[in-house]
Amino acid sequence: MLRWTGFLVVAALVAVFGCARKPFDGPTVDAFNGRLTRDGKPVSFAPGENVTLQVIHQGSGQSFGIPIKPDGTFQIGWMPIGKYSALLKREARSGNRGGPSMYNVPDGFAIEDGKTDYTIDLGNAFKP
């Protein structure tokens, strides 16, 4: 009985502390907020359009999907510090035909220690 109780305690500790960890082993910022622009001007998307900024951390290869609001802003929790490449993914609204469109963000971006607000420029080739 004592062994079973010990096992349950260990399993509970692993479940509690395992879930609290971030799935990234390295330095992070507590928040990643900002907006997308084209040539320095804010961009927006049609209401109901599903837009995601898919980013790849160049140090680890880990990928993150950042939901973009219709006004072109984003706000999420922690993110790893470092350089990123990025792809903007726009899904067709329900009822429309066709698959998602993809756009490569030309220069990517970097997340810096202590900085939480960012502007990510999509470049001149981006078509709203």
Q: Is residue 41 within a helix (H) or strand (E), and if so which, with residue range?
A: strand 41-42
User: CATH number for the domain including 69?
Assistant: 2.60.40.10
Number of domains in the chain: 1
The pair of structure tokens assigned to 41 is 């001007």
The answer to whether residue 80 sits within a structural domain is yes
pLDDT at 98: 65
The answer to whether residue 8 sits within a structural domain is no
Q: What is the pLDDT of residues 87-118, one digit of tens each?
A: 999 986 665 566 689 999 999 999 999 999 99
The answer to whether residue 14 sits within a structural domain is no
The answer to whether residue 6 sits within a structural domain is no
pTM across the whole model: 0.77
Give SS3 for 38. Answer: strand
Average pLDDT over the chain, rounded to an integer: 83
Contacts from 40-46 at CB under 8 Å and sequence distance 24+? Answer: 40/121, 42/71, 42/72, 43/72, 43/122, 43/126, 43/128, 44/70, 44/71, 44/72, 44/128, 45/70, 45/72, 45/90, 45/128, 46/70, 46/93
